[in-house]
Homo-oligomer: A and B are copies of this chain.
Amino acid sequence: MKISARNTLKGTIKAIEVGAVNTEVVLEVAPGVEITAVITKASTERLGLSVGKEAYAVVKASDVMVAIE
């Protein structure tokens, strides 16, 4: 499946924190660069996500903000 979301960053799952409905998944997409996702617990199970596995962080461009110092 090819998706319109402009941002697909390959990484490794570093941590998973499971709640009642949602799960927090931390991916390292480059050395020292981490992205945190909150997805449903059901999706975490369906995709078989676990620490150490390769996965992608996917983000729609309209959900990205830009900041400067």
Contact = CB atoms under 8 A, between A and B. Distances in A.
A67 to B, nearest CB: 4
Contacts of A56: 1, 66-69
- Copy number in the complex reads 6
Given A57-B65, A65-B60, A68-B2, A38 B24 contact: no
Given A2-B67, A17-B20, 15 more contacts: A1-B1, A1-B56, A2-B47, A3-B65, A3-B66, A3-B67, A19-B19, A30-B30, A37-B66, A47-B66, A47-B68, A49-B66, A57-B64, A57-B66, A60-B62
11 contacts: A18-B21, A20-B22, A36-B64, A38-B40, A39-B65, A47-B66, A47-B67, A49-B68, A59-B64, A62-B63, A63-B63
